[in-house]
Amino acid sequence: MLEKMGAMRTAYGEALVELGANNQRIVVVGADTTDSLKSGMFGAKYPERFFNLGIAEQNLIGVAAGLAFGGKVAYAGTYAIFVPGKCVDQIRNMLCYADLDVKIVCSHAGITVGPDGGSHEQVEDIALMRCVPHMRVVVPADAVAVKSIVKAIADIPGPFYVRLTRGVIKGSNTPIVYENGFEYKLGKANLIREGSDVAIFGCGIMLPEALRAAESLATKGVSASVIDIHTVKPIDEEMILKYARKCGAAVSAEEHNIMGGMGSAVSEVLTDQYPIPLKRVGVNDTFGESGEAQELLNKYGLTAAHIEDAARQAIAMKR
C-alpha cells in the first residue's frame, strides 16, 4: 500500500472522457484552466459538449446551472480557490436551491498547491460547501477514488462539490490507497484498517498519512482503525458511531482548516450521539504560504507524525 502513485486530475479527465462516450447528457464547462484540470481531454473528444467560459467563475456556475435546467449533467470546475468562495451565491441560490445536476469538481484544494502561496491555498471550501442545503461534499483520497467518484455522481441527481488535490509528490502525484479498486457509495465511508484503541478519520491526501500513522502506532502496541470519510456530506454516521464505540477515542485528519471541515462534521456526530475525545488534525485557522508541498505539510502539522501525536493525546483523554 502507498507505494504506487497517481494523478487525480488525469483520473478526472479520463473519467469525463469515459462518461461522455456513453452519456450524451454529459457536458463540461471550464474557466481557462481546462488544460491544467484535464477537463480539456473531454473537450478534445467532444468539442460540441465542452464550453470554456474564460476567467469568469460566477458565469461558469450560472451557465452550468442553465445547462442543467436544459436537461444536461454539467461538470464545472477550475481551481478550488476560485469557486466555493467566489461563487457561493450562485451555488447557494441556484445550484442548491433548485437542486440542479451540476457537479463541481475543483482541483488544487488545500495547502499542497505549494509555491503559488497563501492566495491560492484553499482551506475553507469544505466548510463553505458543507453548510449549504442539498450540497454533497466529496473528498477523494487518491486517483482511483477520483475516477470512481466522478463517474458515479453522474447518476446521482443533484449538486456535488468534489475536491481534488494538485499533488504532493513531484507536482502531480499522490499515493494510491485503493490499489485493489474503489466502489463509490454515496454517504458510505470505507474502513481501511481495523483497530481498537483509536479511530482515525481521514479524507483526501491525509488518508495515506493516517495509514502511515496507524502503522507506526502498531509497532508501539497501539491499535488504530483508519476510516476514509470520502463523503463529508452526507456523512456516514453509522460508521463513525460504530468505531467511536469500539475505540473510545478519535482523530480526524484533513488538508483543510480545522474549523468547519471534515473533523467538525465528525465532531457534530459525536457530540450529538456518543461524545468521546476527538483531536482534529488540520490547518490551524491560518492561511498558507509558498513552499514545496511536503515542506508545507510538515510546517502546518499535516503529517503521519502529527496524526500519531494526536492519537496519543486522544487516547490519554479517554475516561
Partner 1 sequence: MGMATSQEITRLQDLARNTRKVILETLAEAGSGHPGGSLSAVELLVTLYFYKLKHDPKNPKWPDRDRFILSKGHGAPLLYSILAQAGYFPLSELKSLRKLGALLQGHPDMDIPGIEMPAGSEGIGLSVGVGQALAARLDGRPTRTYVLMGDGEQGEGEVWEAAMSASKFKLDNLVGMIDRNGIQQDGLTEQIMPLEPLAAKWRAFNWNVIEVDGYDYLQLIEAFDTAEMTKNRPTMIIAHTVKGKGISFMEWSPMYHGTAPTKEKMEDIYKELK
Under the rule (CB under 8 A), what is the footprint of partner 1?
27, 48-49, 51, 53-54, 56, 58-59, 61-72, 74, 89-90, 93-94, 97-99
Residue type, position 8, single letter: M
Which lies closer to partner 1 via its Cβ, residue 25 or residue 193? 25
Which lies closer to partner 1 via its Cβ, residue 56 or residue 316? 56
CB of 137 to partner 1, least distance (A): 21
CB 311 within 8 A of CB 224: yes
> For residue 231, how many C-alpha atoms fall within 13 Å in the half-sphere facing its CB?
23
How far is it, in rounded angstroms, from Cα 244 to Cα 165?
A: 28
Q: What is the DSSP letter of 70?
A: T
Which lies closer to partner 1 via its Cβ, residue 53 or residue 266? 53
How far is it, in rounded angstroms, from Cα 266 to Cα 278?
A: 9
Which pairs with CB-CB distance under 8 Å and at least 24 residues apart come from 63-68?
63/29, 64/29, 64/95, 64/100, 64/102, 64/104, 65/90, 65/94, 65/95, 65/98, 65/100, 65/102, 67/27, 67/29, 67/102, 68/95, 68/100, 68/101, 68/102
Distances (CA, A) of 73 to 2, 14, 55: 34, 17, 22
Told to judge if 57 belongs to the known catalytic residues of this protein, a careful annotator would answer yes
Q: What is the dihedral of CA 172, 177, 178, 180, to 10 degrees?
A: 120
Measured distance between the N- and C-terminal CA atoms of the chain, rounded to whole angstroms: 34
CB of 75 to partner 1, least distance (A): 13
Grid look-up 507506526 returns 216
Catalytic residue among 14, 57, 254, 308: 57
Which lies closer to partner 1 via its Cβ, residue 93 or residue 119? 93
Residue type, position 170, single letter: K
Alpha helices in 158-232 (DSSP H): 206-219
Per-residue DSSP letters for 223-259? -EEEEE--EEES--HHHHHHHHHHHS-EEEEEEEESS
CB of 42 to partner 1, least distance (A): 14
Task: Give the H or E element holding residue 174.
Answer: strand 173-175
CB of 193 to partner 1, least distance (A): 44
CB 243 within 8 A of CB 214: no
- Catalytic (active-site) positions: 57
